[in-house]
């Protein structure tokens, strides 16, 4: 195997970097790369990883927003209960307004808590 046919990718081993020892199968801009270090393939994999991360992050962000909304609902519902207990004139209308405002939170599926067995 000729020296110029080796992959020009860099690898890290034992706190040192060195040249990849694999045979270069793909030529890009006059340099040879193995399948692992091919810049096009590396970029495609990076984009795919970023897409997967964005999906997970969006789910986490939505869950955090729902938790914040639920927290705000609990605070307002507690205040409503205190007002009703103190003799609010229109208890039914007051409660119906809060239920209508937090309809999405009240009808959201319950979160399953993970338990370590």
Residues 24-30 have a mean pLDDT of 92
Given this model, what pLDDT does residue 54 score?
97
pLDDT digits (tens, 9 = 90+) for 73-117: 888 888 888 888 888 788 888 888 888 888 887 777 766 656 554
Mean confidence (pLDDT) of the chain: 86
Which ranges of the chain does DSSP label H, i.e. alpha helix?
Answer: 39-85, 91-101, 103-106
Q: Is the pLDDT of residue 52 over 60?
A: yes
Percent of the chain with pLDDT over 90: 41
Candidates 44, 29, 39; CA nearest to 9 is: 39
């Amino acid at each position: 195997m000729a020296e110029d046919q080796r992959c020009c990718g860099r690898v890290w081993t034992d706190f040192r970097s060195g040249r990849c020892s694999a045979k270069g199968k793909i030529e890009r801009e006059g340099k040879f790369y193995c399948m692992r270090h091919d810049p096009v393939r590396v970029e495609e994999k990076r984009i795919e990883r970023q897409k997967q991360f964005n999906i997970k992050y969006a789910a986490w962000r939505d869950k955090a927003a729902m938790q914040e909304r639920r927290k705000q609902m609990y605070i307002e519902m507690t205040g409503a209960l205190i007002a009703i207990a103190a003799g609010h004139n229109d208890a039914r209308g007051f409660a119906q307004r809060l239920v209508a405002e937090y309809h999405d939170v009240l009808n959201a599926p319950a979160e399953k808590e993970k338990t370590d067995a």
